[in-house]
Amino acid sequence: MDGYDKYAHEPFAVTVDLAVFTLRDDALHVLLVERGQEPYAGRWALPGGFVQPDESAETAARRELAEETGLSDVSGLHLEQLRTYSEPGRDPRMRVVSVAFAALLPDAPEAHGGSDAAEARWVPYGTAGPLAFDHDRILADAHDRVGAKFEYTCLATAFCPPEFTLGELQRVYETVWGTELDRPNFRRKVLATPGFVEAVPGAARLTGGRGKPAALYRAGTATALHPPLLRPTREGRPA
């Protein structure tokens, strides 16, 4: 941290890149923007932008989140720093260090772009071709992190509306993990974890479809899960 004179010769640009997830039609979607300029013109990329002089990376990420989703209030949304990508060649034009974030939205507002000129669109996860820069890697890392955090935190409720059924919550897990879960066991586990969900006192609402109407729940106050809710054992889980 001494020898500041070294720096003056080679400054860095610092950006944030956002992997914004939501659930639409029981499918995981990611918010992507189409690049208009070289390099990677015409390719999809993660939304992001430069960190301004008076901002922390977290502040910049939340600002970008508001701009790209078009939402007026993003203060309650889950936003989490992933890691920083700093390979020298990751942007062919110049030296850019990018702090990556993951964000989770309950519902997918079709509106996008806000006042920003960039076209932001919800794209089903995995369907967009190779992304610009190292964004494929960032997106994969973000997905891994979210899936892992589902095991030992209450993060899954961040994908749900304020009131939801246990079936909806289960489908969140199944969609993100890409597996199927046993319904009775999932109920037992969720209800046995204090603070994970709390029942909405009076009413049970029908979800609109057929079948017995389901009870409604709200997200509880807990954030961690003890013991964890492990995904179905893939034996010999690799490094």
Partner DNA sequence: CCCTTTAATAGTCAGCACGACTATAAAAGG
Partner DNA sequence: CCTTTTATAGTCGTGCTGACTATTAAAGGG
| Site pattern 161..180 for DNA (x: CB under 7 A) | ----xxx-------------
Spacing of C-alpha 133 from chain mean position? 19
231 to 25, 92, 93, 156, 193: CA distances (angstroms): 22, 40, 42, 13, 16
Spacing of C-alpha 227 from chain mean position? 23
d(CA 141, CA 118): 24
> How buried is 183 (Cβ within 10 angstroms: 0-12 exposed, 13-18 middle, 19+ buried)?
exposed
Q: Please report whether residue 84 would count as binding a second copy according to CB under 8 A.
A: yes
Q: CB count, 10 Å around CB of 226?
A: 8
From 24, 78, 95, 187, residue interacting with a second copy (rule: CB under 8 A): 95
d(CA 168, CA 161): 10
CB of 230 to DNA, least distance (A): 6
CB of 28 to DNA, least distance (A): 19
Q: Please report whether residue 237 would count as binding a second copy according to CB under 8 A.
A: yes
Q: 87 an active-site residue?
A: no
Residues that bind a second copy (CB under 8 A): 1-4, 6-7, 9-15, 35-37, 45, 48-58, 81, 83-84, 86-88, 91, 93-95, 97, 99, 118, 132-133, 222-224, 226-228, 230, 233, 237-239
Residues that bind DNA (CB under 7 A): 165-167, 182-185, 187-189, 192, 204, 206-207, 209-215, 227-230, 232
Give the active site residues.
119
